[in-house]
Structure 1
Amino acid sequence: MASITRQAPNMTSDELDWRQKSFCKDWDFKKKGDPWHPASESEIAARPGKNLCWSCPAREACLADALAHNEKHGIRGGFTATERSRYRK
């Protein structure tokens, strides 16, 4: 099975600031899985990731970043990709 390495893009200090406050920053994906990329976008499948996002201090900045970069996958800022697509211009 191939290994996936996540690498953060080059970021400004403002972008780093909100990411340092995010709940997902120190998430143990090996032990807890990835609630931000559920198998489907159904409400039941997305609920764990959305619940974590809604209590995260970086939620608004994360959502703004996802919208600004047209992120088409995963739960960001408490919204699925489909939900975020309604807010794109």
Structure 2
Amino acid sequence: MSDVSRLPDAVAENWDWQRRGACRGMDAAVFFHVDNERGFARRHREASAKQVCASCPVRAECLQHAISTEETYGIWGGLGENALRRLIAAKRRSPGPIA
């Protein structure tokens, strides 16, 4: 079972930003890799996802959500998995706000 302890409460104000995301209604496969995806296919998919994020009105909220819930899978707020892991590690070392 997934650990949901880091997720915010189920209050509309906490999640309302997701309704305004540029990715809303898109296939999630654009933002999350399939097993064993590598090389050009992965780079191309990630670039496509980041292009959607580049013009998103809630990019900052998305990134903050990913950092606060320690989401390290997929593209969130225009950042890939390695960048997310670095920000989360920095957050763990420093209790102040990141991003």
Fold shared, TM-score > 0.5 on shorter chain: yes
Within 2, Cα distance between the matches of 1:68 and 1:40?
Answer: 28
Uncovered stretches (5+) of structure 1, i.e. residues with no partner: 1-8
Greater gyration radius = 2
Instruction: Map 1:44-83 to 2 at 5 A.
Output: 44-83=44-83
> 1:32-59: CA deviations, max 9, x gaps?
x721013348543310001101111111
Structure 2 residue corresponding to 1:37, chosen from 27, 32, 55:
32
Instruction: Using the TM superposition, name which of 73-82 and 16-25 deviates more.
Output: 16-25
RMSD: 2.3
CA contact (8 A) 1:40 1:46 kept: no
**Cα distance, 1:55–1:40 mapped onto 2, change above 3 Å:** farther
Uncovered stretches (5+) of structure 2, i.e. residues with no partner: 1-7, 92-99
Q: Output the TM-score relative to the length of structure 2.
A: 0.65
User: Cα offset for 1:73?
Assistant: 0.4
* Count, aligned residues: 77
Percent identity reads 26
Within 1, Cα distance between the matches of 2:38 and 2:62?
Answer: 21
